[in-house]
């Protein structure tokens, strides 16, 4: 196997025997085969659109199946094989319709491959289509192709969530398929893929806009909300991941049952949405970031639902208590199709729950764009009077790799006249710190999940308009951490917007070659993090 799609990849180069995430070589090969078949399906879907063949079921499937290949999503070989075979079914159905409509009939190997019948055969096939087996000799072209692929994986995840909430855009579907099919076209060069990568950033903004609209129309705009980090005596369900629709379904199906529902990881911002916080049994937040789940889930006395990425290998001590939904999977873990969470609720009723109340500190969430922009006038006045000197957006992914203590130190050492905006699970390095206020404005503002980078962009654009400057002229610095492919998509969005001077860590992506990095530095002055002291001094000089 060879996989270098996440930040924690072995030696900063690539996992070759087993993934740091827990993915084994068999699963890696099957995921490689799935991506390859999705490239072929995408090629045919694009041709189908040219002759007005209806492609939406295939479009949505591409997004869900691609989502399943993100880091820490699906480790179940049988589920991945189901996705592979479904990709082939969509492919052949569309191919027949294209032929009947008089469209193209000749396709690449990816659009024509015949699958082996057995799992072993599929694994052998997958090993022929991995990252390292492409005959391309130009490492820069290779790196750009995978930059695009990993970026579009992140886009697909957001599009999948948005679609579940009734939001879609045909142009977004088409771009995802264009990006997946692009490496099949051997006439495309470095500049083509660099352009497509920046286009991916543009499309990701649209995808996040769709998801934002889906979430806010369904649940209301987030409002500042205090969330307890303790627990209540009684039965318990913990919901992790990112999918608010699944959380809503769990809340509906536990009304009146004496079960308290807790969020975990990037579900924390759910407490800020008015129509979710209206459920009195949505009590609080349990635990911290995804990489601590084995320790935290081991002590949770209830049932657990993983709705999206961030799954780690379940320990035997709680494996029978954990469930997956959507694209998530682990061998031997109960998977729930659809939105009937009866088995999850039954498991929660069987388990002891918390024996007593467990008081703890609280945190405040809900500073998405509506809440943040409602105090724009106060912010502008605070800046004009010298009360706020600088804004730092410190956010992104968290992870277990050493070096992430930088983000805690950065926030702790940021001057008292600065404001910290944060989003995604990177905030768990400092989310419970009391940084005080400036003129009634909290110094630590939790904007939300990783997809709420859309809110962060809107806030930055509003501040730039208020001060009549460009985003790059604002007293604003972006200090980002990355781990997986949604973070790649967000980074591409920032680059598309022309945002410069981004500091990125803990390490740079292994698929970024020295020449690619040189271009990023020249165009955007993107730079690796150093130490908190050095970076603060450089920013505030």
Identify each DSSP E strand in 492-532 by its residue range.
503-505, 527-528
Give the pLDDT confidence score for residue 443 in this predicted structure.
Answer: 97
Distance CA 73, CA 333 (A): 13
Distance CA 178, CA 192 (A): 12
Distance CA 39, CA 32 (A): 11
Q: Provide the pLDDT confidence category of residue 79 given band limits of 50, 70 and 90.
A: very high
Give the pLDDT confidence score for residue 107 in this predicted structure.
Answer: 83
Distance CA 477, CA 458 (A): 15
pLDDT (tens digit, 9 = 90+) per residue, 24-44? 999 999 999 999 999 999 999
Give the pLDDT confidence score for residue 223 in this predicted structure.
Answer: 97
Spell out the residues 6+ positions from residue 138 whose beta carbon is closer than 8 angstroms to its own: 190
Give the pLDDT confidence score for residue 294 in this predicted structure.
Answer: 95
Mean pLDDT of the chain: 96
Q: Provide the pLDDT confidence category of residue 113 given band limits of 50, 70 and 90.
A: very high
Please determine, for residue 401, whether its predicted confidence score (pLDDT) is greater than 80: no
Give the pLDDT confidence score for residue 133 in this predicted structure.
Answer: 85
Q: Which residue has the tokens 């079921």?
A: 57
Closest CA to 300 of 366, 255, 368, 353: 353
Distance CA 283, CA 227 (A): 8
pLDDT (tens digit, 9 = 90+) per residue, 81-102? 999 999 999 999 999 999 999 9
Q: What is the mean pLDDT of residues 110-128?
A: 96
Q: Which residue has the tokens 């390859």?
A: 36
Identify each DSSP E strand in 11-109 by its residue range.
none
Closest CA to 68 of 57, 58, 82, 89: 82
Please determine, for residue 134, whether its predicted confidence score (pLDDT) is greater than 90: no
User: Is the torsion defined by CA of 409, 412, 415, 417 positive or negative?
Assistant: positive
Half-sphere exposure for 69 (CA within 13 Å, toward CB) = 30
pLDDT (tens digit, 9 = 90+) per residue, 244-284? 999 999 999 999 999 999 999 999 999 999 999 999 999 99
For the chain, helix, strand, coil in percent to 5 are 50, 15, 35
Give the pLDDT confidence score for residue 334 in this predicted structure.
Answer: 98
Judged by DSSP in three states, 93 sits in helix
Distance CA 350, CA 353 (A): 9
DSSP string spanning 409-469? HHHHHS-TTEEEEEESGGGGGTTT----EETTEESEEEEESGGGHHHHHHHHHHHHHHHTS
Cα Rg for the chain, rounded, in angstroms?
23
Domains and CATH numbers, the chain: 10-218 (1.20.1270.20), 225-350 (3.40.50.2030), 366-540 (3.40.50.2030)
Closest CA to 321 of 286, 346, 358, 291: 346
Spell out the residues 6+ positions from residue 355 whose beta carbon is closer than 8 angstroms to its own: 233, 301
The percent of residues above 70 in pLDDT, for the chain, comes to 100
pLDDT (tens digit, 9 = 90+) per residue, 440-452? 999 999 999 999 9
Q: Does residue 506 have a cis bond before it (omega within 30 degrees)?
A: yes
pLDDT (tens digit, 9 = 90+) per residue, 294-339? 999 999 999 999 999 899 999 999 999 999 999 999 999 999 999 9
Please determine, for residue 114, whether its predicted confidence score (pLDDT) is greater than 90: yes
Give the pLDDT confidence score for residue 137 in this predicted structure.
Answer: 76
Please determine, for residue 502, whether its predicted confidence score (pLDDT) is greater than 90: yes
Q: Provide the pLDDT confidence category of residue 106 given band limits of 50, 70 and 90.
A: confident
Please determine, for residue 136, whether its predicted confidence score (pLDDT) is greater than 80: no
């Amino acid at each position: 196997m060879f996989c270098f799609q996440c930040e924690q990849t072995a030696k900063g180069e690539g996992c070759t025997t087993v993934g740091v995430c827990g993915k084994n070589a068999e699963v890696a090969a099957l995921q490689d085969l799935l991506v390859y078949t999705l490239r072929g399906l995408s090629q045919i879907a694009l041709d189908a659109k040219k002759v007005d063949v209806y492609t939406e079921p295939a479009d949505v499937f591409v997004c869900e199946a691609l989502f399943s290949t993100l880091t820490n999503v699906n480790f179940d070989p049988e589920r991945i094989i189901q996705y592979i075979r479904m990709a082939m079914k969509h492919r052949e159905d569309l191919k027949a319709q294209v032929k009947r409509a008089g469209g193209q009939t000749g396709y690449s190997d990816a659009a024509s491959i015949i699958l082996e019948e057995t799992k072993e055969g599929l694994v052998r096939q997958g090993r022929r289509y991995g990252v390292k087996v492409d005959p391309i000799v130009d490492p820069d072209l290779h790196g750009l192709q995978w930059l695009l692929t990993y970026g579009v994986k992140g886009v697909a995840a957001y599009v999948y969530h948005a679609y579940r909430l009734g939001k879609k855009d045909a142009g977004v579907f088409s771009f995802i398929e264009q990006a997946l099919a692009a490496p099949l076209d051997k006439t495309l060069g470095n500049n083509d893929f660099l352009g497509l990568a920046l286009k991916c950033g543009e499309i990701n903004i649209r995808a996040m806009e769709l998801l934002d609209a889906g979430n806010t129309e369904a649940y209301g705009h987030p409002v500042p909300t205090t969330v307890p980090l303790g627990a209540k005596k009684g039965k318990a369900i913990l919901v992790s991941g990112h999918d608010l629709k699944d959380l809503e379904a769990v809340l509906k199906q536990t009304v009146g049952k004496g079960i308290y529902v807790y969020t975990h990881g990037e579900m924390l911002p759910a407490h800020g949405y008015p129509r979710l916080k209206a459920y009195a049994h949505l009590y609080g937040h349990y635990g911290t970031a995804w990489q601590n789940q084995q320790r935290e889930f081991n002590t949770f006395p209830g049932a657990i639902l993983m709705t999206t990425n961030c799954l780690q290998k379940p320990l035997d001590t709680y494996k029978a208590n954990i469930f997956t939904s959507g694209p998530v999977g682990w061998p031997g873990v109960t998977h729930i199709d659809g939105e009937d969470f009866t088995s999850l609720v039954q498991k929660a009723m069987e388990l002891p729950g918390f024996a007593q109340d467990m008081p703890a500190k609280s945190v405040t969430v809900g500073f998405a764009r509506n809440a943040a922009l409602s105090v724009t006038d106060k912010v502008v006045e605070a800046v004009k009077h010298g009360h706020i000197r600088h804004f730092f957006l410190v956010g992104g992914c968290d992870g277990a790799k050493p070096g992430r203590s930088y983000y805690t130190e950065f926030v702790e050492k940021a001057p008292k006249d600065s404001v910290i905006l944060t989003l995604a699970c990177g905030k768990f390095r400092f989310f419970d710190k009391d940084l005080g206020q400036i003129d009634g404005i909290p110094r630590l503002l939790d904007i939300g999940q990783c997809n709420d980078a859309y809110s962060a962009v809107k806030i930055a654009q509003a501040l730039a308009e208020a001060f009549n400057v460009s985003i790059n002229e604002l007293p604003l610095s972006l200090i980002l951490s990355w781990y997986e492919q949604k973070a790649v998509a967000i980074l591409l969005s920032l680059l598309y917007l022309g945002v410069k001077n981004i500091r990125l860590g803990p390490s740079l992506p292994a698929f970024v070659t020295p020449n690619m990095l040189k271009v990023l530095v020249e165009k955007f002055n993107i730079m690796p993090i150093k130490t908190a002291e050095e970076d603060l001094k450089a920013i505030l000089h």
